[in-house]
Every structure is written in C-alpha cells, then in structure tokens.
Amino acid sequence: MNMNPSNFLNPKFPSLWHGGDYNPEQWPKEVWTEDLRLMKVAGVNALTMGVFSWVTLEPAEGEYDFSFLDELMGRLGDQGAHVILATPSAAPPAWMAKKYPEILRTGPDRVRRLHGNRVNYNLASPIYRAKTREMATKLAERFGDHPALALWHVSNEYGGEDYSEQTRGAFIDWLKAKFDGDLDKLNAAYWTAFWSHCYTEWDQIEIPGQPYSETSIHGLTLDWRRFSSAQTLDFYLNESEPLRQLSPDVPITTNMMGTFEPLDYWKWKDHVDCFTWDSYPCFTDHPMETHDWVKVAFIHDMYRSFKQKPFLLIESTPSSSNWYPAMRLKRPGVHMFECMQAVAHGSDGAMYFQWRQSRGSQEKWHGAVVGHAGAEGTRVFEEVAEVGARLMEIAEVAGQCESSEVACIYDWENQWALRDSCGPIVGEKGYFLECLDYYRGFWERSVQCDVIDSDQDFSPYKLIVAPMLYMLKPDVAERLTAFVEAGGTLVTSYLSGLVDENDLVIPRGESWPLERVLGINPEEIDALYPDERVRIQTQIGSGTYMASRFCDIVRLRGAEVLGTYAGEFYAWKPFLTRHELGRGTSYYVAARTERAFHDDLAGHLVAELQLKRATGETPQGVRAINRGPFTFLMNSTA
C-alpha cells in the first residue's frame, strides 16, 4: 500500500472528489444560486467548468470576459468546493472558424468540414495552435493561483485524425525523422517492393486509410496511427505549456476515454499529473451487464496502473446516456455500485456529466444530477446525495494505492497491428475481449491485477498474462525471458510473437525470439469461421473445452504438454504447454477458448502461485477489493 502524499490528485484537496461538469453559462444567475445550494445537499465538492466556454470567454477576437468564472470560482471556493478548470479548445467559436477556416478539420475524404459539433479542429493548424495557447495563457494568468483551483482539465476528449495537407506535411516530416531522412530505410521497413509501392520521393507519401487511400502497406498504416496519436499529444503539450509555466503548483490532466483506439494513452504517462477518464457502461439487466462490469474494472485497473497512483473517474452518468440506442435507466443501487467500484479500483472520487440537464440541443436528454423533473426528492438526485455522503465516510482511502502481483498486458500498438492485418481472419481480431477473458478469472477470485503495455517494467509482478502478443516491440522477448528466468510466470497465447514493430513477420526458425522462454515454436495457424469449434482436452480444470477462431499448431522445443487438441487433423498436437526456464515458468495457450477454460486456468494459477486474494471465497457474482483500511465487497448480480 502506498500512502505517499504526492499520490493525492492535488495535495491541497486530499479528499475524495464528488461532482461533475458544470455549464453555468447555459443558465441565468438565479439558477446558479439554486445550484450552489443543491451542491451542498448532494455532498458535491468538485466542479468542472469551462469545457465548452470559448465563445463566452472570448465573444469576439481579443475581447475577453471571464466574469462568470470569476464569480463562480469565488462562490464555490467560499462554500468549500474546488474547481477543475478546463481549456475550451474542444469547441472553437464560430467567429474563429469564419475568420480562419484553416482551423477546421479535414475528413478522410480530404474535404474540410464546416464549423460545428466539437473536436472539429485541425491538429496541425498553426493558427489554432496559437489560439489555444493564447487562451490557456489568459486562463492561467487569471486563475493560475486561485485558491479554489484544484486541477487543470486540458481540452475535452481529444480524438480523431485530421487529413489536411498541413497534417500530411507533418506526417512526412515525422517519417523523415523516424527513418533518418533515408527513404530506402522506409521502403525496406514497409516492404514496399510489394505491389510496386516503392516511394522515390517523400512527397509521394499519402495519408493511408479507408476508404480513399492506401491500406495494404501495414508498416505505413501503423506509423500513421503512431503519428496521429503523437500529433494529438503534441497538440496537448502546446496547449498545456502555458499552464505549466504560469500555474506550476496546479496539476494537469485531460479526460480520456477508456481504451479509445486512436490514442495510445501510455505515451501520455509523463505528461499528465494524474489520469482521468470518462466511463459510460450500459446499465441493463441484460446478460451483457456482468460483462460490462468486468470491462469497467479492467479499464479502472489500467488507469491506476498508468502512474501507479490514484486516478479520477471524471465523467459518468448519474442516470443514463443519450447516445446509447436506448436510454436505459440505471437500476436502483447501480449508481452506488458504479461509484464504489471506481473508488475500490483506485479512483479518488466519482464525477458526472453533468450537473444540470440542458434544456436544448444535443445533450438535452442526457442524464444529469439535477434533471428536468427537479432535484431533491427525485430518485437520481437522492442516489447521488447518498454517494456524496458515502464518499465523505470513506475519505481516508484518498491517495492510497495497492500494488498487484499480476499484470495483464493490453498494448495499443499490438491492437493496431492486429486490426490492420489481413489474416488470419480479416479485420478486428477480438484482442481486447480476449484480454478481458483472461482478466475475468482473476477478477472472479478477487485477485487485483494491473493492466500495462509491453513497454512497462515486468519485474514487480509474479505473473504476466499477455494474450495475443502479436507484435514484439524491441527487447520485449528478451525482457519476458529475463522475467521468467528470474522466477516470474508468463502466460501467453496463439498469435503471439509474429511481427516486429514495423509489422514485418519475424521468421520462426530456431532464432524465433520467444522459443527459449516458451519451449515451443508455432508452425501454422488454423483460422475458423465463427460457428466452428474444435474440442480440446487438458490436465487442468474440467478437462475438456471448445476452441474457436484461432488454433495454432506448434512444434515442441522443450515444453511439457498439458493439453492437446481432440479434433481436426491436428488432434493430439499440443494445445496447452508449460515450460520451465531458470527459476520461472511459462504457459502457452495455442487456441482461443471458451470462458470456462480461462476460468480454470486462472484458478490453477492463483493456487499454484498462491496469489493474494482480497478475501476468502465469496458468493457467485461478489468480488472484493482492498484499498486502504477498507474492503469493498461488490455484488454485480441483479
């Protein structure tokens, strides 16, 4: 357990934070007074303001009006609340788009969009970069040392790619830097002799992607994803720099979106002071619900793992989300469950979108703490107030972070490479869901896991679970081997170790980099149609299970066989192997399996490695997590 005071989101506000997005500019002042009263009733102590306020703060170019923030930051501070202040770059004002059309985003069809919606800006536009920096400077100068300011919230949900000529130029510059200005190196890394794709001038390189451009050069598509993710980070760094300089004591974050595929959030680790994310699982009584709680748990664990310190659930809905096909309401008690689940996994609070429900426009039906039907006495408001009271009771957990013995690897670049690969099945390969299925077995047993990517340090763990580790980035095979030799246990699976960081296939001769640690060498992969199954039999768990989608056929290179296929022409070939190296052990699972196998494998590993469980046996559907002085018991069943 880590009780380091620097683990607080902000040591000046060492409590659990409760509140949400507050958009007072949509309301007259009388409503503000009522809002402030209700916030006290609901136990709300943290409000995010300014997210979409650009036109209020700068109604015409160079004319600023910070009066609503002046007044409300003062009044909120006076009643003991603190403010998360956003920079408004997610939605530039119409006057700016009219005067400087280059700030608008260009779509994959290479057509520049018109003003509107949000996150509709050109990431490469020097004008927009200057404007966002200027606004951040003004905000930092005015509020940077305000006593109520607890956290800077830079922009909102960064995302998406830009296809402007400016961005294409930036992409080419990025490639020149990556390949030392040597086009031959790029051509070799991208295997461009294929289909006559050799580039002879840098300017021939187009942004790849469906449906208008190149998709067949996987090294290029991968680098485009890397570039776009890096370009967004660079945009954030440009915008947040004035905050760092002028307001050095206030931590900085940006709200993220789970495992949002276009942005490799691991790359932000050294650039945000705390991680925050927006979680909107669907709340139905459908069997999917159980699945969703595992998914949310997995993502919370990832957000704690990013910095090995508490994170913040900065947005969630108090009732329902209007962008789901149907706005199912949270069932009674689910709201408390969701908030406590976040805190148990390491969130230092629970926050909502949004405080007061809008009357008009896109989000008028989105759930809010204060709804169209009112506040006090409504089911939603009372449940929120109950959470507020509970957070105060357990405020001691703030800043506390438990360490894990198990880490699951979920790696963005690996997902990008798997998605783009044309084979063994086309398109999405189900990597995330497979990671969840491995994770689930530990979750069911109340064993806390970290979720890391393959660039992180493996040495703090007893067990690394790395399913479908298709891409081996430099040194990963060596580091996994060293981890096992030093006494660690590694579990990996089919489709692992097949390509390098440029998506070039790694030859699987004797020098295949995972052979030493796994004691096997994959020869062929049989990909199945969704309805096809192959029986498998193992020495662990119930003995027989079904495999689906991917069946690797492997050659033994020293590993012991714990299970075999029981069907197809590869019947009796290894399905599950175990190999000892140095002081450690590795397991290889050659096929995608049904959940029962993941569950039995997790049970076997928990017993064999005597992994720490938060509590003894719990009833079906109940999990436990320890954090600080508390054990959280969570019943995710109806």
Active site residues: 157, 315
Q: What are phi and psi of 265, to 5 degrees?
A: -65, -20
Least separation in angstroms between CB 433 and ligand GLA? 23
Least separation in angstroms between CB 153 and ligand GLA? 10
Distances (CA, A) of 220 to 163, 193, 260, 318, 373: 15, 13, 20, 42, 53
CB-CB contact of 531 with 560 (8 Å): no
CB-CB contact of 282 with 324 (8 Å): yes
DSSP string across 202-220: GGG-----TTTS--S-HHH
The phi-psi region of residue 29 (left if phi > 0; otherwise alpha if psi is between -120 and 50; otherwise beta) is alpha
Least separation in angstroms between CB 118 and ligand GLA? 8
- Is 319 one of the binding residues for ligand GLA (CB under 6 A)? no
Q: Lay out the site mask for ligand GLA across 266-305 (x = CB under 6 A, - = otherwise).
A: ------------x-x-------------------------
3-state secondary structure (DSSP) of residue 63: strand
- Is 338 one of the binding residues for ligand GLA (CB under 6 A)? no
- Is 353 one of the binding residues for ligand GLA (CB under 6 A)? yes
Least separation in angstroms between CB 316 and ligand GLA? 9
- Looking at the Cβ atoms of 168 and 366, the one nearer to ligand GLA is 366
Which helix H or strand E contains 631, and what residues bound it? strand 630-635
Of positions 23, 156, 167, 481, contacts ligand GLA by CB under 6 A: 156
CB burial of residue 343 (10 Å; 0-12, 13-18, 19+): buried
- Looking at the Cβ atoms of 156 and 593, the one nearer to ligand GLA is 156
Q: Whole-angstrom Cα distance, residue 436 to residue 446?
A: 15
- Looking at the Cβ atoms of 327 and 556, the one nearer to ligand GLA is 327
Where helices occur in 330-411 by DSSP H, the ranges are: 334-345, 379-393
Q: Which amino acid is at 8?
A: F
- Looking at the Cβ atoms of 258 and 513, the one nearer to ligand GLA is 258
Q: Whole-angstrom Cα distance, residue 29 to residue 519?
A: 70
Least separation in angstroms between CB 567 and ligand GLA? 46
Of positions 164, 321, 347, 446, contacts ligand GLA by CB under 6 A: 321
Q: Kindly state the greatest CA–CA separation across the chain.
A: 76
Residues 24-53 interacting with ligand GLA (rule: CB under 6 A): none
CB-CB contact of 20 with 48 (8 Å): yes
Of positions 239, 315, 434, 453, contacts ligand GLA by CB under 6 A: 315
- Is 352 one of the binding residues for ligand GLA (CB under 6 A)? no
Least separation in angstroms between CB 314 and ligand GLA? 9
- Looking at the Cβ atoms of 46 and 183, the one nearer to ligand GLA is 46
Q: Lay out the site mask for ligand GLA across 361-400 (x = CB under 6 A, - = otherwise).
A: --x--x----------------------------------
CB burial of residue 96 (10 Å; 0-12, 13-18, 19+): buried
- Is 87 one of the binding residues for ligand GLA (CB under 6 A)? no
- Looking at the Cβ atoms of 117 and 544, the one nearer to ligand GLA is 117
Least separation in angstroms between CB 20 and ligand GLA? 10
- Looking at the Cβ atoms of 313 and 625, the one nearer to ligand GLA is 313
Point out the residue whose Cβ comes nearest to ligand GLA: 278
Q: Whole-angstrom Cα distance, residue 54 to residue 94?
A: 10
Residues 241-260 interacting with ligand GLA (rule: CB under 6 A): 255
Least separation in angstroms between CB 277 and ligand GLA? 9
> Which residue pairs, CB below 8 angstroms and at least 24 apart, start in 334-339?
334/283, 335/380, 335/383, 335/384, 335/387, 336/383, 336/386, 336/387, 336/390, 337/634, 337/635, 337/636, 338/279, 338/281, 338/296, 339/313, 339/387, 339/390, 339/391
CB-CB contact of 406 with 448 (8 Å): yes
- Is 157 one of the binding residues for ligand GLA (CB under 6 A)? yes
Least separation in angstroms between CB 79 and ligand GLA? 24
- Is 330 one of the binding residues for ligand GLA (CB under 6 A)? no
Nearest to 53 by CA among 76, 72, 35, 39: 72
- Looking at the Cβ atoms of 278 and 405, the one nearer to ligand GLA is 278
Task: State the Cα angle at 339 between 337 and 344, rounded to 5°.
Answer: 90
Applying CB under 6 A, the site for ligand GLA has a residue count of 10
List residues near ligand GLA by CB under 6 A.
Answer: 156-157, 255, 278, 280, 315, 321, 353, 363, 366
